[in-house]
Amino acid sequence: MKNTVHKKVDNNRSCRTSKTLYRYFAALTAFLVCFSLCGCDRIFGNDRYDDPYYDGGYYNDGYYDDDYYYDDYQTSQRVPNLISHYIDVGQGDCEFIEFPDGETMIIDAGPSESGSNVVRYIRNLGYDRIDYVVITHPHSDHIGGMKKVIDAFDIGAVYMPKVETTTSTYENLLKAIQSKNKKIKTLKAKTRIFDSGDSSLKVETLAPNSTSYEDLNDYSAVLKITYGKVRLLYMGDAETVSEREILKKNYDVSADIVKVGHHGSSSSSSKNFVNKVGAQYAIVSVGADNDYNHPSSQIVSRWNKSGAQVLRTDKYGDIVVTTNGDKFDIDTEKE
C-alpha cells in the first residue's frame, strides 16, 4: 500500500511539467489529496513502513523469521543454568542443587546445629520444595540438620545407601522421613537419579559398590552430575577403599569441580584418584579450627599439584557454582 501511494505521488508530480494552469492545479490538488491520505500516519508516528516492529510491517512481510529470532534470543540470553551451592555448615557437608527445569536436590544437611541455617538458605532462594533428598551416609555431621530440612519443606524422593546406625540423630531422621510418608530409595553404584534422556543432564551414583564395609564412611554415596560439557563430582565421606573400587569399575570420575571426600582427610583423595578426576577446582567443606585438623595439608597439596585450585568453606564461606552446560562461574561468600 505504501509503495502504491509513493507511485501515485510521483506520477502526479510529473504533471507539474504541464504548461497549462489547469494541469498545474490539478496536479497540486492530487498531491494534496495523496498527502492527506498517507502523510498523517507519518505525522503521528505510525509509519508502518519505517517501523519493522509493527505487526503489519516487516515481520509479516517475511523479512524476519519470528521463531528463529525469538529462539536465538532465548538461547543467547536466557540459557537455563544449573546452580550448585556448597553451603558453609561448619564441620560437615551440605550441597543444594538447582536444576535447569526448576527442580532441586539437597545432598546432606550438615550437623544438627546447622539445620536452621540450611532451611533459611534454601528459603531465601525462593523454594518450598526439594525434589530429591540425598543422604550420603548416616554420620551426624551429614544428617544432623536433615530433620529440620525435611520438616520444613515439601519433599520428593529420598535416597540413602543401605546402612543403619543406632544413634538418636539417625532415628530422628527416619521419623522425619516417615512423617512425610516417604520410603527410602536405596543408593548404590550406577543408580540413575535423573536423566534428561538426551544426555544434556544426568545425575548418577558411582558408589557404594559393595554391600558391606568396615568403615561407615565407605558406604558414602558418590554422585556425579553432568550438565552439557560441565561435570561436578560429590564425594561425600568416601575414602580410599571406595575410591579404589570406583577406579576398578572404570567409572568415569573426570570432573571440572569436585567436592573433596571426607573434608580433605588424609584417608581420602588417593593420588591415583585425584589424578583421574583432573578437577579445575576442589571444594573442601570444613569447619574453622576443627578438632580433626581437616583438611590435611598433604591432601591440599595433592589437589594443587593435580592442577586444581582448592576452595575451603571455612575460608570462603558459601561457594556457588553456576553453569549453562558450557562454561561455569564460581562465586564465594567471602573474598
Alpha carbon separation from 18 to 27, 35, 153 (Å, rounded): 9, 21, 87
Q: What is the pLDDT of residue 69?
A: 29
Q: Tell me: do 110 and 41 sit in the same domain.
A: no
Domain-terminating residue out of 43, 76, 109: 76
| pLDDT score recorded for residue 16 | 35
Contact 93, 236 (CB under 8 A): yes
Q: Which set of grid coordinates corresponds to residue 145?
A: 540438620
C-alpha cell belonging to residue 229: 560439557
- Where residue 99 sits, what CATH number does that domain have? 3.60.15.10
**Residue 328 sits in the same domain as residue 197:** yes
- pLDDT at position 79, please? 56
Q: What span, in angstroms and rounded, lies between the C-alpha atoms of 79 and 118?
A: 27
Q: What is the Cα–Cα distance from 62 to 64, expressed in whole angstroms?
A: 5
Query: Which residue segment(s) compose the domain that 33 sits in?
Result: 2-76
Q: What is the Cβ-side half-sphere exposure of residue 156, based on CA atoms within 13 angstroms?
A: 13
Q: Into how many domains does the chain fold?
A: 2
The Cα 41–Cα 49 span in angstroms is 10
Query: Same structural domain for residues 66 and 93?
Result: no
How far is C-alpha 58 from the chain's CA centre?
A: 38
Question: Where among 50, 76, 102 does a domain terminate?
Answer: 76
- Residue 151 sits in the same domain as residue 291: yes
From residue 116, how far is each of 104, 123, 148, 157 by CA, in Å? 18, 11, 7, 21
Domain closes at, from 31, 48, 76: 76
**148 in the same domain as 54:** no
206: left (phi over 0), alpha (psi -120 to 50) or beta: alpha
Residues 56 and 197 in one domain: no
For residue range 48-91, list pLDDT tens digits in order.
Answer: 323 333 233 322 333 223 332 223 323 333 459 999 999 999 99
User: Quick one: 176 and 148 in the same domain?
Assistant: yes
pLDDT the model gives residue 196:
78
Residues of the chain with pLDDT under 50: 1-27, 31, 33-78
**Rounded Cα distance, 55 and 77, in Å:** 23
Whether 306 and 192 share a structural domain: yes
Q: What is the pLDDT of residue 64?
A: 26
Output b/e per residue, 4-36; b: 16+ Cβ within 10 A: ebeebeeebeeeeeeeeeeeeeebeebbeebee
What residues contact 185, with CB distance under 8 A and at least 6 apart?
157, 158, 159, 160, 191
Are residues 57 and 140 part of one domain? no
Q: What is the pTM of this model?
A: 0.77
Same domain flag for 248 and 153: yes
Do 112 and 17 belong to one domain?
A: no
Do 196 and 311 share a structural domain?
Answer: yes
Q: Are 264 and 239 in contact (CB under 8 A)?
A: no
Specify the pLDDT at position 71: 32
